Structures are given as C-alpha cells and as structure tokens.
Amino acid sequence: MDERTLITRYFAGRQAGRGDVVLGIGDDAAVLRLEAGWDLVVATDTIAEGTHFPAGIPARAIGHRCLAVNLSDLAAMAAEPLWCSLALSLPKAGPPWLEEFSAGLLALADRSGTALIGGDTVRGPLAATVTVQGRVRPGKAVTRSGARAGDGIWVTGNPGDAVAGRLLLDAPGQVPAAVRDTLCQRFLYPEPRLREGLALGALATAMLDVSDGLHDDIGKLMAASGTGAELDAGLLPLSAALKAAAAGRAVDYALTGGDDYELCFTAPDAVTGRLQQLAAGWDVPVTRIGTVVSEPGLRWRHQGSALVVPDTTFRHF
C-alpha cells in the first residue's frame, strides 16, 4: 500500500470536523485558526514497541495510547485539546492492523474533541509520535512550579494499576480473570484526565501527570517548586484489583510503577471543600496523600515508620 492510499483510507476525513481547522489532512501543512484571547499549549510524545509497550498488544490499544499519553500532558496543564498530528513508523502497512490502530486513535480523538490535522508515515520499527495542541486562557496554565508549603498533595485514580497490568500481559499467573482484565485495561487504554484537569485549573497550585511513577513524579513537582513533601503511603488509593494481584508489592507498584497517567497536584487547604464538591461528580476518585513542606526532599511514612522508596523508576538513558 502506498503512503497516499494509507493516509486517505485510514485517516483522512474520518475524524470529527472542527470549525477552527481551515485546512487539514492532504496538503503540505495544516492551516488552523486560534481565537484571540487564548494561549497555545503544545506537547509531543513518542511510544515505541519494546520500550513503551510489548510486541503483540492490540493495534487499537496502540492507537489509543499514542494519543492518550499526549492528552494527559494537556490535562496536567489544565488545557483544552484542539488538534493533533501523527507520525507513524511501520514495519509494513497491513490493512487489518491499520484499521484497528486508526479506530483506537480516532475514537479517543472524537471523544476528546481533538481533530487529527496531519502527520507523516514511514517504514521502520513500530512507533507512533503524536503532537497535540490545546488552548488555555493567558496566565491560567497550571505548571509544576507553583506548590507552596502547607498545600495538600493529591492524586486522581489508583496509581499502580497500570504497571500491574503491564506485568500481567507477560505473566498472567494465578490472578483471577476479572482482576487481570481490569488491570490490563488500565495499561492498554489509559484515560487522560481532561475533565478533571480543566476543573483543577481554578484550584491547583501545581500539577503534572503521573507517567514515570508517583514517587519520581512528585519529586519533579517539588523540585520545580523549590519545596519538599511529607507523604503517607498508607493513604495511597490502592485499588481492590491491585491488592488482589500484587499482594505485598501493591505500595511499591503505586510508588514506582509508572504508566498511570493520573494527575498529581497541590492545592491549598482553603479550597479543599470546593475540590471535594467537584470530585463528587467525577468518575474517578481523588485522594490527599501528603503535604508540601519548605524543606527539600520527599519523606514517606508507612504504618508509622519511615519508608525508603526503591529507585526502580524506568529511564530511557
């Protein structure tokens, strides 16, 4: 299949239209119209077979994941998604695989209001690079650098589920099928917390998405803010599925696993009531797990004792 046929058959004209896309797929570049009174927010991520996902997972999951991990970055900035582009490297252009991949990507694009506006295809190892563009009102983007001593440290969802699911893909073991399916779904189809991120724009002082493990990512948040944190691992919102599958390792998975794409944020105590009212309408829990302090570094406790978190976070280099 030649490149033009591939793009026309599986990507062009299949996404929901947006009035701000003046010219989309099919020309040398896209033409977009950004309304006055907005800042543009841009993020890019690559996912590669063997590094970010194992060989043989469903093509639909790869299509979903390559967009989801980028939308999660926009959510962490309290930004609204607008457009995305895709650069796809393929060992071969197989129609069944492409049909499933494009279905996964475009289903999430449609659900999030994100228009696919172009990109590139090339023969090579399986990898997908997505760039997303979103918008936020001037001065309203939530960065990593705004945490202040006394703020609460909160996390959405159930950290640790995704890494447990990733491990179960390779070694199902004796885990009940329903537990395995729940955890594998969390790895294969991460849900970017766009609704929650937009709502937190008015409350959070600092925020990021949890991609490299909760402990490591909280460290990034505190370092950017010039602060430290006191945290209680006993408060971690461990899911019933994770505890059933990982038993004594559930806390380790939650702190070091990565791939959760939940939001970790800080917020002053004064907004706790408003935050809880908002979260009552969400489909995902939000849990306070610690407090920002002025002394640098992270200090975890668990069941009354100091907890040393192992340095097992994945690093590319």
Domains of the chain: 3-136 (3.30.1330.10), 152-307 (3.90.650.10)
pLDDT at 310: 81
pLDDT at 130: 98
Q: What is the pTM of this model?
A: 0.93
Give phi and psi for 217, each to the nearest 5.
-75, -35
Pick from 187, 311, 211: nearest CA to 263 = 211
pLDDT at residue 317 is higher than 60: no
pLDDT digits (tens, 9 = 90+) for 113-155: 999 999 999 999 999 999 999 999 999 999 999 999 999 999 9
pLDDT at 181: 96
pLDDT digits (tens, 9 = 90+) for 71-105: 999 999 999 999 999 999 999 988 999 999 999 99
pLDDT at 16: 61
